[in-house]
Amino acid sequence: MKAKVVIVGGGVMGVAIAWHCARRADPLAEPIVLLEKKALAAGASGRSGAILRQHYSDRVVAAMARDSLHVYSALERATGRSIGFQRTGVLTLAGPSKPDEIVLIERNVAMQREIGIVTRLVGAREIRRLVPGIAVDEGAVGAYEEGGGGVDPVLTVRAFAALAREHGAVTRIGTACTGLIVRKGRAIGVRTEDGDIEAEQIVIAAGPWTKRFLARAGVDVPLRVVRPEQHFLAMPAGVAGDSPSRAASTIEDRSQAQVSEAPSPARAFDGPSIEGMLDDRLGSTESELAPAAHPVLLDLEHGLYMRCESHASELGLPAPRTRVGRMDHSQDREIADPDELDETVSAEFERWARDSLVRRMPVYRARESVGSIVGLYNMSPDAQALIGPLPELAGVFLVSGFSGHGFKLAPSIGEGVAQMLWGEPVSAFDTEFFSPDRFEKGAARWGRAFGL
């Protein structure tokens, strides 16, 4: 078989890339072939919190999160496929005990508003209105994105794969890629358990398996895999404050002066009005899922994040539940082989998760624990992905190292990678920013957990 592009990996990146490539390819003459060794979303994607936030410190990534959120929010209505989209709002929160974090949030919000992201600074009083029952001190500052929320990661991966197939892509699920076929210094195809496939381009989107896979071809990529733990509590009912659609767009407290200096999104954004698109879509894509008890919280002060999840879990966790994870993954154990994942979650982590959650949201005090999971973060040195042709081996295109925050970016990644492979002008992201050889060139950036 001969393919235009072979994609290794059926996580959210592989299927998003397959979808966008298939839209450009001739399925008879030069098909797009995706290989997934186990099941769609069997890797990091199926365990993901799938939080859709736009709060980033880097303009490049914030813009991708903005554009991808548009796709996620419109997908159900446009395609009729459910992805479990929930627009809950997202609050990134800093407390007075960490003034540096407050400065960061203020700077980020100003930058994000310049590029048309609908976000605003909120002070303690407004935070309590948005999230009744939350414990915040006077002087706390948050960034509130009313358009953010989350999706069901497994449904989303399946939906992208189905869209790819509708455009003629071949998805071989349960077929492992066992190696690369290299001739005269160029990869010209892949070996699989079911035979060889010739390909013009081979995209490695194998998530945490990428480093080991490429090592077998003699290529060392600067990635390492860590194993974060996640704990779940039963979601309480009805603590939600103003829903995103009802939330006022006023800016209050001490934040007002800074924010009012920022250009308005309508003026700064080069394209259709995002605010208008949000108004049009608010509430229109919410499924019958139980409403979230409160917005997603990214708590920089106590170092945790939490998301109310109403969708069924492939991992057997009862819904609705609230996911709690740690922002700092420096304590997470590094693992050599993702196929040997130790699924044990420590009692110490579960205690920390419950205590930290209750400290911020006392309403959880009596909520029962409903399970825990471990995940896989595929870390790059600066916590941003590596995307582009592999300098060491022609014919191979790397899309990996999303460092625990890639799910929300997948629509932009799919589009941008397809643009790169087809030699089109790349509008979806800045290719230099993600260049796999940026570390050798000394162009590595400041890297902070989750790009925050």
Ligand X SMILES: Cc1cc2nc3c(=O)[nH]c(=O)nc-3n(C[C@H](O)[C@H](O)[C@H](O)COP(=O)(O)OP(=O)(O)OC[C@H]3O[C@@H](n4cnc5c(N)ncnc54)[C@H](O)[C@@H]3O)c2cc1C
Query: Residue 96 half-sphere exposure, CB side, CA atoms within 13 Å?
Result: 9
**Residue whose token pair is 């966008």:** 20
CB atoms within 10 A of CB 365: 12
The least distance separating ligand X from the CB of residue 14, rounded to whole angstroms, comes to 5
CA end-to-end span of the chain, whole Å? 44
Of 56, 72, 160, 209, the one binding ligand X (CB under 6 A) is 209
CB under 6 A: which stretch of 83-91, 162-170, 201-209, 417-425 binds ligand X?
A: 201-209
Q: CB nearest ligand X: which residue?
A: 11
> Per CB under 6 A, does 406 bind ligand X?
yes
> Per CB under 6 A, does 42 bind ligand X?
yes
> Per CB under 6 A, does 411 bind ligand X?
no
**Residue whose token pair is 């949030």:** 105
Cα pseudo-dihedral 251, 257, 259, 260, rounded to 10: 90
Of 9, 147, 388, 451, the one binding ligand X (CB under 6 A) is 9
CB under 6 A: which stretch of 123-131, 136-144, 205-213, 246-254 binds ligand X?
A: 205-213
Q: Would you mind telling me the total number of residues written for the chain in this entry?
A: 452
CB under 6 A: which stretch of 130-138, 199-207, 314-322, 420-428 binds ligand X?
A: 199-207
> Per CB under 6 A, does 36 bind ligand X?
yes
> Per CB under 6 A, does 208 bind ligand X?
yes
134 Cβ contact list (under 8 Å, min separation 6): 127, 128, 294, 297, 360, 361
Of residues 65 and 251, the one with the C-beta less far from ligand X: 65
Of residues 126 and 397, the one with the C-beta less far from ligand X: 397
Of residues 47 and 302, the one with the C-beta less far from ligand X: 47
Q: Report d(CA 160, CA 20) in Å as an integer.
A: 9
Of residues 160 and 269, the one with the C-beta less far from ligand X: 160
**Number of residues binding to ligand X, judged by CB under 6 A:** 39
CB under 6 A: which stretch of 42-50, 87-95, 353-361, 386-394 binds ligand X?
A: 42-50
The least distance separating ligand X from the CB of residue 384, rounded to whole angstroms, comes to 11
> Per CB under 6 A, does 408 bind ligand X?
yes
Of 3, 18, 25, 37, the one binding ligand X (CB under 6 A) is 37
Burial per residue of 153-166, b for 16 or more beta-carbon CB atoms within 10 angstroms, e otherwise: bbbbbbbbbbbbbe
CB under 6 A: which stretch of 32-40, 73-81, 231-239, 390-398 binds ligand X?
A: 32-40
CB under 6 A: which stretch of 21-29, 45-53, 214-222, 390-398 binds ligand X?
A: 45-53
The least distance separating ligand X from the CB of residue 442, rounded to whole angstroms, comes to 26
Angle between helices 274-281 and 59-79 (to 10 degrees): 40
Closest residue by Cα to residue 32 from 161, 156, 158, 153: 161
The least distance separating ligand X from the CB of residue 363, rounded to whole angstroms, comes to 22
Contacts with ligand X in 358-377 (CB under 6 A)? 375-377
What is the Cα gyration radius of the chain?
A: 21
> Per CB under 6 A, does 176 bind ligand X?
yes
46 Cβ contact list (under 8 Å, min separation 6): 153, 154, 157, 314, 315
> Per CB under 6 A, does 44 bind ligand X?
yes
The least distance separating ligand X from the CB of residue 182, rounded to whole angstroms, comes to 16
Contacts with ligand X in 309-338 (CB under 6 A)? none
Of residues 402 and 429, the one with the C-beta less far from ligand X: 402
Of residues 93 and 205, the one with the C-beta less far from ligand X: 205
Of 407, 417, 418, 429, the one binding ligand X (CB under 6 A) is 407
Of 25, 177, 417, 420, the one binding ligand X (CB under 6 A) is 177
The least distance separating ligand X from the CB of residue 144, rounded to whole angstroms, comes to 17
The least distance separating ligand X from the CB of residue 396, rounded to whole angstroms, comes to 13
Contacts with ligand X in 211-240 (CB under 6 A)? 213, 228, 230
Using CB under 6 A, list all residues that contact ligand X. 8-14, 35-38, 42-45, 47-51, 176-177, 205-209, 213, 228, 230, 375-377, 402, 404-408
